[in-house]
Structure 1
Amino acid sequence: MLKVRGFANPDVARAFANIVWLGLERVTQIAVAIVISGVLARYFGPDVFGKWQYANTLLLVLAPLTWVCGAEILVPTIVARPPAQLGTVIGSAFALRLSVSALALVLTWAGIAAGATDPLVGAMLAGLAVTMLFREPFIGVINAWLQSMTFSRPQLLTSMVTAIAKAALVWLLVRAAAGPARFGWLWALESVAIGAVLLAYYRHRHGGRLGWHVDRGLFRHFATAGTVFWLGLICMYLFLKLDRLMLERAISFADLGRYSAAQQLNENWIALALMLAQTIAPAFVYRVQDVAQLRRNMWRLFGLTALLMLAGALVLDLLAGFIISHVFGPGYEEATSIFRWAVWLSVPAGIEAIGNLVVLKYQAKFVLLAKWLLALAVAFAVNLGAIARFGAYGALLGLAAGYLAAASVNFYYLRFRLRP
């Protein structure tokens, strides 16, 4: 068990320990994701792997629809209410998220049944979509309670264990020559397992009972509060997956599989920028009240992030052939060139992530929504012309243009909010 020594303030020690566990969980998830992608890419081949990646893209576009009453609303509410009202707060948020998630799942299955997707893509998505029913209602709500205590270790530890178990089950299904559609149900099983463990932990901490109740007023408040943030997150995730959504109409699933292989690795690399931002945000941004000091901190963070992303992108560019061949195997050679270009997207992505910290610090929800709406519109416009002319490389141009648009909004807001 990790213990933090040398901190006189127990709140600081608890926050530091939380950050350590968050880092361990993220590294584990990234490593497991790369291993699983490599195993499935070799087993499926480029064509089926492209369909698998497209099914995951559809899930990641649909999942934000269930993020109503996000942590930015639920966590402060839990902290502000007396402990006696915890069951009412949790119960009301759970009822809202469960109803929205169930509706999203039913609509997804209805779309699959109606033939809205390729049959194999639909069969894969049918299992993957079940995660929506457990991620936000069970895992998300209980995790918000844990965050309110700055004690996310139970959720993070459970996620690490189940991720490793999922990787083992993927390997077993590959050895058993299972059909591609069966793999999506492993993700559903993982979400059920995490939800069950966290639910049991919550009951254990509350004397063996949940004590959840629904308050109609609180239910309505949760349904409306944070709507702007919610819409902003939907636009952000749609922007991040727009390249694959538009490429599916322009290239074969085999080429989409190679593109997705490169982007899978690149997105895990970009996730490090987000980890960096989450780790340094409390000390260097959120807790700093002096505008001049915050402005100095931001420019230093921009410089540090740019240097780290540039150095990392350079190394990955040089090792692209080695990485692609060893992770994905034969049949994915064309992904090497795409990966070499894609890794440089980490520079604007990292800078955007740092700039976004000030937007979140001051809860500038309309800035967040406007930013991702602009990024989405710019990426869509660039993709329309660039994909037809350059194929997969055109989609990278769309992503680059979108990131630059988002970063520009951040810089404009920083100039306005942190002016001397």
Structure 2
Amino acid sequence: MLTVKRFANPDVTRAFTNIVWLGLERLTQIGVAIVISGMLARYFGPETFGKWQYANTLLLVLSPITWVCGAEILVPTIVNRPPGQLGTVLGSAFALRISVSAVALLLTWLGIALHFFEPLVGAMLAGLAVTMLFREPFVGVINAWLQSMTYSKPQLLTSMSTAVIKAALVYLLVRATAAPARFGWLWALESAAIGAVLLLYFMRRHGGKLGWHVERSLFRHFASAGTVFWLGLICMYLFLKLDRLMLERAISFADLGRYSAAQQLNENWITLALMLAQTIAPAFVYRVQGIAQLRRNMWRLTALTAVLMVCGAFVLDLLAGFIIRRVFGPDFEGAIEIFRWAVWLSVPAGVEAIGNLVVLKYQAKFVLLAKWLLALAVAFAVNLLAIPRLGAYGALVGLAAGYLAAASVNLYYIRFKLRP
């Protein structure tokens, strides 16, 4: 039971405020995603919209390449290091990430130039891929600093503002009947704007100076210590996008567009669980040393997340027909039932995200890698059997099986690590 004394705890107060801002940001992002998806779906039509969604899928499969030295390494390092070393920590992480991101972008453009992708998909991906140069090196590094203080308001406020501006620019391009390939560059512009604002905010908080320095030993540590986590995250995102990668070869781009329309809305909702886990981790997991207290926190956080995701899924299930018809129009009627089933994936996804915090706290990198390798293998096997028989619904079965496999690994590790 919460008491006045607990609310007086600064960690609790900061976490609660962070969660409020997180909720506002998620509501904004969900609203903007619905508006943008609706405009693009109606403007492009199912087939071109399917190609747009497939280009986004390719981006989200490629993006983890830039996640070397992720938040699971960087945030605990910031928390455990003296404040005077902040510039060295962030500078070393930035140098590593910008190098990897630049290489990833150049390789993506090379693949487009060599016609590895369908022509329109490649043209869309060309602009979308530029986000890799800004998201992790700039936004990711500064956001890790904000997470370490349990104070994500600047990042969330910036994200909300740029999302609304992006929606307005999408509307203007639609009105101007712009070519589909041009829309990807709006996402690149958005990521650059967020990075610039957060960089200026960091400098303002530190006397107008950036103060980032590269320390070779720390650079090497980030590159080596994060490798297994990095591979684990690559497996995780392959798992999350495996449904669309495998469906692209089994159904038409028009049907893929309908499936992706439902999943895009659903993924904005599932992201809430992931961001909730990230914002509460420093105060309620990473800084907690007592096993008994940590075990109590984990049960409470798991229960809270499960209730939140069940309630949200129930509401979205009820409103599925209204949402799909209003947002996407009559050409996307087939997405309604897919969306109704997909929203319930948020429950195992949320539970898995909370359980994953203990894996990150103890830096159990091989557990993380094994977990997502297992989830990827299970989903791949289920998709091979289910997609030919059930089509898009088979891909949902594969996702559900993968999430359950990942959550089971988390549960086993928590019972092992936090036993009395």
TM-score by length of 1: 0.91
Instruction: Provide the C-alpha distance between the structure 2 equivalents of 1:221 and 1:262, rounded to a whole number of angstroms.
Output: 41
What SS is found at the alignment partner of 2:138? Answer: helix
Residue 187 of structure 1: aligned partner: 187
> 1:234 offset after TM fit, Å?
1.1
Q: How does 1:259-298 map to 2 (within 5 A)?
A: 259-278=259-278, 285-286=285-286, 289-292=289-292, 294-295=294-295, 298=298
> 1:84 offset after TM fit, Å?
4.4
Residue 141 of structure 1: aligned partner: 141
Matched, 1:208 2:208: yes
Q: How does 1:50-69 map to 2 (within 5 A)?
A: 50-69=50-69
Equivalent pair of 2:11/2:283 in contact (CA under 8 Å): no
- Structure-2 change in CA distance of 1:208 and 1:45 (3 Å): same
- Structure-2 change in CA distance of 1:74 and 1:318 (3 Å): closer
Residue 220 of structure 1: aligned partner: 220
What SS is found at the alignment partner of 2:209? Answer: coil
- Structure-2 change in CA distance of 1:84 and 1:298 (3 Å): closer
Instruction: Provide the C-alpha distance between the structure 2 equivalents of 1:215 and 1:313, rounded to a whole number of angstroms.
Output: 46
Residue 157 of structure 2: aligned partner: 157
Instruction: Provide the C-alpha distance between the structure 2 equivalents of 1:308 and 1:15, rounded to a whole number of angstroms.
Output: 17
Residue 47 of structure 1: aligned partner: 47
> 1:336 offset after TM fit, Å?
1.1
4+ aligned runs moved over 6 Å, structure 1: none
Deviations 1:209-248 (A, max 9, x none): 3333322222212211222222111111110000001111
What SS is found at the alignment partner of 1:324? Answer: helix
Residue 125 of structure 2: aligned partner: 125
Equivalent pair of 2:50/2:260 in contact (CA under 8 Å): yes
Q: Which amino acid aligns with 1:348?
A: P
What SS is found at the alignment partner of 2:331? Answer: coil
What SS is found at the alignment partner of 2:211? Answer: coil
Equivalent pair of 1:23/1:275 in contact (CA under 8 Å): no
Unaligned runs of 5+ in 1: 1-5
Instruction: Provide the C-alpha distance between the structure 2 equivalents of 1:300 and 1:153, rounded to a whole number of angstroms.
Output: 24
Deviations 1:84-132 (A, max 9, x none): 4433333222211111000000000000111111111101100000000
Instruction: Provide the C-alpha distance between the structure 1 equivalents of 2:160 and 2:130, rounded to a whole number of angstroms.
Output: 20
Unaligned runs of 5+ in 2: 1-5
Instruction: Provide the C-alpha distance between the structure 2 equivalents of 1:105 and 1:56, rounded to a whole number of angstroms.
Output: 14
Q: How does 1:390-409 map to 2 (within 5 A)?
A: 390-409=390-409
Residue 32 of structure 1: aligned partner: 32
Residue 384 of structure 1: aligned partner: 384
Residue 368 of structure 1: aligned partner: 368
Higher mean C-alpha displacement, 216-225 vs 373-382:
216-225
- Structure-2 change in CA distance of 1:345 and 1:142 (3 Å): closer
Instruction: Provide the C-alpha distance between the structure 1 equivalents of 2:367 and 2:54, rounded to a whole number of angstroms.
Output: 30
> What's the RMSD between the two structures over aligned residues?
2.4
- Structure-2 change in CA distance of 1:96 and 1:275 (3 Å): closer
> 1:142 offset after TM fit, Å?
2.1
Q: Which amino acid aligns with 1:86?
A: L
- Structure-2 change in CA distance of 1:76 and 1:314 (3 Å): closer
Equivalent pair of 1:50/1:254 in contact (CA under 8 Å): yes
What SS is found at the alignment partner of 1:214? Answer: coil
> 1:252 offset after TM fit, Å?
0.7
> 1:56 offset after TM fit, Å?
0.5
Residue 3 of structure 1: aligned partner: none
Between the aligned residues of both structures, percent identity stands at: 85
Equivalent pair of 1:93/1:141 in contact (CA under 8 Å): yes
Instruction: Provide the C-alpha distance between the structure 2 equivalents of 1:142 and 1:298, rounded to a whole number of angstroms.
Output: 27
Higher mean C-alpha displacement, 394-403 vs 285-294:
285-294
Instruction: Provide the C-alpha distance between the structure 1 equivalents of 2:61 and 2:73, rounded to a whole number of angstroms.
Output: 22
What SS is found at the alignment partner of 1:115? Answer: coil
Instruction: Provide the C-alpha distance between the structure 2 equivalents of 1:299 and 1:82, rounded to a whole number of angstroms.
Output: 31
Residue 411 of structure 1: aligned partner: 411
Instruction: Provide the C-alpha distance between the structure 1 equivalents of 2:55 and 2:296, rounded to a whole number of angstroms.
Output: 43
What SS is found at the alignment partner of 1:143? Answer: helix
Q: Which amino acid aligns with 2:315?
A: V
- Equivalenced residue count is 416
What SS is found at the alignment partner of 2:250? Answer: coil
Q: Which amino acid aligns with 2:144?
A: A
Deviations 1:54-77 (A, max 9, x none): 011111111111011112322343
> 1:155 offset after TM fit, Å?
2.0
> 1:14 offset after TM fit, Å?
3.5
Instruction: Provide the C-alpha distance between the structure 2 equivalents of 1:300 and 1:194, rounded to a whole number of angstroms.
Output: 34
Deviations 1:164-194 (A, max 9, x none): 1001101111111111101000000011111
- Structure-2 change in CA distance of 1:171 and 1:64 (3 Å): same
Q: Which amino acid aligns with 1:346?
A: S
Equivalent pair of 1:25/1:156 in contact (CA under 8 Å): yes
Instruction: Provide the C-alpha distance between the structure 2 equivalents of 1:76 and 1:291, rounded to a whole number of angstroms.
Output: 18
What SS is found at the alignment partner of 1:331? Answer: helix
Deviations 1:4-54 (A, max 9, x none): xx9545454344333332332222222211211111111111001101110
